[in-house]
Amino acid sequence: MPIEALTTTIAQTTTIISLISIALFGLAWIVGSLLRGSPIPFKEWKEAGHGLQQDALKSTFLASIFSAIVSLIAWIASVLASAA
């Protein structure tokens, strides 16, 4: 497999994973906001909504780190391929 095809595959996979993680972030944030803001008398549900929002922020941070690392690896592979 040529290195260009490998870097393209890595870039496409990273993009798909990043888009899925952003979509899941949005879903978790919306559900958490609905639970926190709804007029329900259950304190546990409101705390669960707060937990969902915190987990959404943590996962977005981790996904951005993953994306940066994979992009750095793809860039290094591209530089090495052009040097050869």
pLDDT digit string, tens, across residues 19-77: 898 899 999 999 999 999 889 888 898 899 999 999 999 988 988 898 888 888 878 87
Query: How many domains does the chain contain in total?
Result: 1
Task: Give the residue carrying structure tokens 């595959």.
Answer: 9
pTM to 2 decimals?
0.72
Give the separation between CA 40 and CA 52, rounded to whole angstroms.
Answer: 17
Q: What is the distance of C-alpha 62 from the center of its chain?
A: 7
Q: What is the pLDDT of residue 19?
A: 87
Nearest-5° Cα angle at 25, 23 to 28? 110
**Which among 57, 11, 1 is positioned nearest to 32, based on CA atoms?**
57
Residue-number span of the structural domain to which 32 is assigned: 3-83
Q: Could you tell me which residues come within 8 angstroms of residue 9 by beta carbon, excluding any fewer than 6 positions away? A: none
